[in-house]
Chain A
Amino acid sequence: MTSASVILELRGIRKDFGALAAVDGIDLAIAEGEFFTIVGPSGSGKTTLLRMLAGMEQPSSGDILLRGRRINDLPANRRPTCMVFQSLALFPHRTVGENIEFSLKIRGVSKVERRQRAHGLMRLLRLPEELYGKNVTKCSGGERQRVALARALAYDPEILFFDEPLSAIDYKLRKTLEKELKDIHRETGKTFVYITHSLEEAMVMSDRIGVMRQGRLVQVGTPNEIYVTPNNKFVSEFIGDVNVFPVEVAGPGRLRSSAIAGEFTAPKLPSGFSKGHLVIRPEYLRFLADPSGAENSLKGRLYNEYALGSRFQYQVRVGDQVFVVEKLRQQAYGGRLDDDVVIGWDARDSILVTD
């Protein structure tokens, strides 16, 4: 990323609440036009971070730079950024049109022009025109999401912030809106900074993802990098079900585990690695009819199976350790529960991570 394309830069941002550091030193550069998502469990400090970026909280230390200009002391109403809130925070005493036009009215834009802008945005967000004069509390959940987005876009911000706006929505609508949001991002070309606790949601939409834990960014990368090469156990466990067990180096290219008997072939060892965790995604585990040719194999018992729609998930018990295996429907395992099974994986499909 060249410095010219950086729109927002964070340098050593901290936020202390008494003795507790909610945000504990964050350095980050977000590029112009990027869809950047910060993912973290609740209490990881992501909302506090976003509120500082939007100007609703002051950092205890560190600098926020917008196109190289320090904006720490600029209050939210004078920053060229806008936020879509978790509760959406629509104005319940106003119509859809008045909500969308709020920032324009504040700026003294004429009534005709306001109306024009609002109708343009409603078209962009596929809001039916007749909603314009309707009270915003009469709108459906999906319509309200779009009104909130339209209201923020009407401000014409350089960066749009999103504080988990989709978290309270049912699954199906959420999936639709995730994709819509990505489309809107393409169409407007604006920089989006999004916050969520769902790595899955982040993966669908983002250009890059930052994973946050206890006030720090533990990994920043593309969705693919985060999924394929998580750099620690926390990140690897953040998306879906995953198999993780402790390992240490047993010899050149070999690993052993305190949890499972036997030795395993290691993937490429990170430099200086002596002990950590081995991560295997459930889709990389196979049921083996003949274990002799496999790089790694384990004997276990098929404990349960779950239909996930397009896939099947199996729970295999190996000693005290539970392994999760996933197969596409067409490749479903035909056995019965309590069968003795052998599962295996290729070393290159496993990932070594530190804590």
Chain B
Amino acid sequence: MARRGSWAIPGPGPRAALPLVLLLLVGFAAPLLAILDYSFMPPRTFSLTGEPTLENYVTIFQSTSYLSFLWSLALATVTVAVLALTCYPISYGLVRVFGRWATVLTLLFTIPLFVSENVRLYGWVLFFIKNGVLLGALKTYLGIEFDSWLFTSSATVFGMIYVYLPFMLFPMTLGIAMVPNETRDAAFDLGASRWQVFREVELPLSMPGIVIGFLLTFVLAVGAIAEAKVLGGQAIIPVTHDIEIAFTYAQNWPLGAALSVLLMLVVGALVLLVLRRFDLDTILGRR
């Protein structure tokens, strides 16, 4: 007997959303829960039903893992900072200065995304390596020899800036494009200098795009691993590398899971902090 009550058939909205909810539960929430579970399992076990323990976390706090955490956060911070400073002028140009050329430039920024990240990074290796494209050419044609810049921490940062540039550039461009021309004109007309127009109107009104660019690149950069491996030559060990080692060579899934959980907590806390400081709705004046 079908009874109407607290278990009544839901409306068309929830019913239509159901497949997506199931997909997210199975494909997104379940693996995260599995990781969370693993992080409390005894070291070097492969069962999700063992006796829960905090041993993995204790191990991490007693080890030097915090160093790789710091490295990852530092690399991501430097990447975001450099990207912010380089992308803002480019975005500004794309929206306000370059005119018809903006389309061409946007395309040039987009096309590399169609090539695998690893392939592009190895491309840079060929470019910078001793006797490679750059140094080889200098040696052959000018007779000058330099040491290769590869396999240093700055090469890692370079790789990350290169890979994550579009993820800062495009949200920023959107943010700047959202500032209406008449609003800028109005501020200028009311006596503001170019700099005051920028500070009082353009920057705050393009903030949503900038914040989204910051978050996107930061989260991606904290999770980066290939740049440090390929261009950095493991001069730096980011936490993602530790996680990979734990899951592969070390065959210590619970330790890797605990590291992953800690990383998610740190990044999540930072993101929440930023979102609280820059409430997107308030910036847009929706509240």
Contacts and interface: CB of A to CB of B under 8 A. Distances in A.
B191 A106 contact: yes
Contacts of B187: 91, 102
Interface in B172-218: 180, 182-183, 185-193, 196, 200-201, 204-205
Given A76-B188, A136-B285, A137-B286, A89 B183 contact: yes
Interface in A123-143: 135-137
A307 interface: no
Interface string A82-104: 11011101111100000000110
A306 B254 CA distance: 84
Q: Which of B191, B201, B204, B285 has most A Cβ within 10 Å?
A: B191
B180 A151 contact: no
Contacts of B205: 92-93
A106 B196 contact: yes
SS class, residues of chain B in contact with chain A: helix
Given A77-B191, A91-B201, A85 B286 contact: no
Contacts of B285: 92-93, 135-137
A225 to B, nearest CB: 32
Contacts of A103: 190-192
B178 to A, nearest CB: 10
Q: Which of A87, A89, A151, A155 has most B Cβ within 10 Å?
A: A89
A81 B287 CA distance: 33
B286 A76 contact: no
A91 B186 CA distance: 9
A56 interface: yes
A93 B180 contact: no
A75 B185 CA distance: 11
B283 interface: yes
A66 interface: no
B138 interface: no
B284 interface: yes
A107 interface: yes
A89 B180 contact: yes
A92 B190 contact: no
A318 interface: no
Contact of B186 (A83, A135, A137): A83
A325 interface: no
A91 B185 contact: no
Contact of A89 (B182, B282, B283): B182
A77 B196 CA distance: 11
B180 A87 contact: yes
Interface of B: 180, 182-183, 185-193, 196, 200-201, 204-205, 282-287
Given A56-B189, A77-B192, A81-B189, 9 more contacts: A77-B190, A82-B190, A86-B182, A90-B183, A91-B187, A92-B205, A93-B282, A103-B192, A155-B190
30 contacts: A54-B189, A55-B189, A56-B185, A56-B189, A75-B188, A76-B185, A76-B189, A77-B188, A77-B189, A77-B193, A83-B186, A86-B182, A87-B180, A87-B182, A89-B182, A89-B186, A90-B183, A92-B205, A93-B204, A93-B205, A102-B190, A102-B192, A106-B191, A106-B196, A106-B200, A107-B191, A136-B285, A137-B285, A151-B190, A155-B190
